[in-house]
Amino acid sequence: MKIRSATAALMSAVMMLLPCSAVSAQEPDNTLCGYGQGREVDENNCPVGAMMFNEQFGSYSAYAVTDGDKICLTFDQGYENGFTAPILDTLKEKNVKAVFFLTGDYAKRNKELVQRMINEGHIIGNHGMKHASLPKLSDEEAREEIMSLHDYVKETYGYEMKYFRPPCGEYSEKALAQVQSCGYKTLVWSFAYCDWNVNDQPDRVQSLERVSGAAHKGAIYLLHSVSETNCQILPEVIDNIRAAGFEFGLPEV
pLDDT in tens, 183-208: 999 999 999 999 999 999 999 999 99
Question: What pLDDT score does 91 carry?
Answer: 98
Q: How confident is the model at residue 162 (pLDDT cuts 50, 70, 90)?
A: very high
176-189 pLDDT per residue, tens = 999 999 999 999 99
Q: Tell me which of 22 and 238 has the higher pLDDT.
A: 238
13 or 248, which is more confident: 248
Report whether 178 contacts 30 (CB < 8 A): no
Pairing type for strands 72-77 and 220-224 reads: parallel
d(CA 102, CA 92): 20
- Whether residue 21 is predicted with pLDDT greater than 60 in this model: the reply is no
Could you tell me which residues come within 8 angstroms of residue 25 by beta carbon, excluding any fewer than 6 positions away? Answer: none
Cβ(208)–Cβ(236) below 8 Å: yes
Report the percent of the chain where pLDDT is more than 70: 90
Q: What integer is the mean pLDDT of 163-186?
A: 98
pLDDT at residue 24, as a whole number: 41
Percent of the chain with pLDDT over 90: 89
Q: For position 106, what pLDDT does the model report?
A: 98
Does 3 have pLDDT greater than 60? no
Helices and strands counted in the chain (H then E): 9, 10
**pLDDT confidence bin for 27, thresholds 50/70/90:** confident
Is pLDDT of 14 > 80? no
Judged against a pLDDT cut of 60, whether residue 242 lies above it is answered with yes
User: Which residues, at least 6 apart from 60, have a Cβ–Cβ distance to it below 8 Å?
Assistant: 173, 176, 177, 179, 180, 186
Task: Decide if pLDDT at 216 tops 90.
Answer: yes
CA distance 85 to 47: 31
pTM to 2 decimals?
Answer: 0.89
Q: Looking at the annotation, which residues are catalytic?
A: 76, 224
Q: What is the mean pLDDT of the chain?
A: 91
- Reported as a pLDDT band with limits 50, 70 and 90, residue 22 is very low
* pLDDT confidence of residue 253: 86
pLDDT in tens, 77-134: 999 999 999 999 999 999 999 999 999 999 999 999 999 999 999 999 999 999 999 9
